[in-house]
Structures are given as structure tokens and as C-alpha cells.
Amino acid sequence: MPEWLLFLMIGSLAGVISGMFGVGGGIVIVPALVYFAAFTQHKATGTSLAILLPPIGLMATLEYYKHGNVDRRAAMIIAVAMIAGAWLGAIIANKMSGPALKFSFGIFIVVAGLYLMHDASKRLGWI
């Protein structure tokens, strides 16, 4: 498969998931770049950050804003804090080995998934 087609497929899937769930796409992009495009964990993380800057922020935000689903004050405060947090996170990640970074990312995804499933199960009355 041509590399550009693989990237197009990864981007399309990440875009749909980002628009639906607001997860930023990194949950799809980072693992896809590592496993299907043979990127290192660090390169996948850095590339994912570069990808997410313009497309997700602009079009998805405008659509949510049109429907009254954007709190501008909260977005501005969180964005400013996120700038500092992302910088600190990048410093920490670049000091870690690739396997350690991959393991940490996996723990984050598993914990987030378990929390979401537990909360949804409670709300659905399953537990």
C-alpha cells in the first residue's frame, strides 16, 4: 500500500473519531503510526501533535460552536494551561525510552477506557 494512502486512511479514521468523541485523534493516530507506518513512539507522538494543530481545532470547533456547545472562557483558560502542560509533557516524554513511553501511553488508554466503561455501565443500570 502506498504510504500516502495509509496516511490518508489513518487521518480519515482519526478525524471521524475526533469529531465524534472529542479525543483529539491521538488515541488513533499514535498507535496507527507506530504499528502500521513503523514510526517510533516518539516520532508518532510528535507527528500526532503536528497533525492536530489546525484541522481538528478549526472545523470541529466551528461546528460545535454553531450549536452552542463551546464554552469560550473555559477553552481559553484550558488552552493556556495546556500550552505549559504540553511543553512539560514533551520534555518528560523525550527523556523516556521508546518502550517506556509506549507502556505509559498504554496505561493511560487502559485506565481511561476502564473508567468510561464503568461510568457508562452505572448509567445504563448494568452495575
Average pLDDT over residues 76-103: 89
- 51 vs 37, more confident: 37
Buried b (16+ CB within 10 A) or exposed e, 25-64: bbbbbbbbbbeeeebebbebbbbbbebbeeebeeebeeee
pLDDT in tens, 105-115: 889 889 989 99
Q: How far apart are CA 30 and CA 81, in angstroms?
A: 23
DSSP 77: H
Provide mean pLDDT across the span 81-101: 90
Higher pLDDT, 108 or 54: 108
Summary mean pLDDT of the chain: 87
Which carries the bigger pLDDT value, residue 108 or residue 18? 108
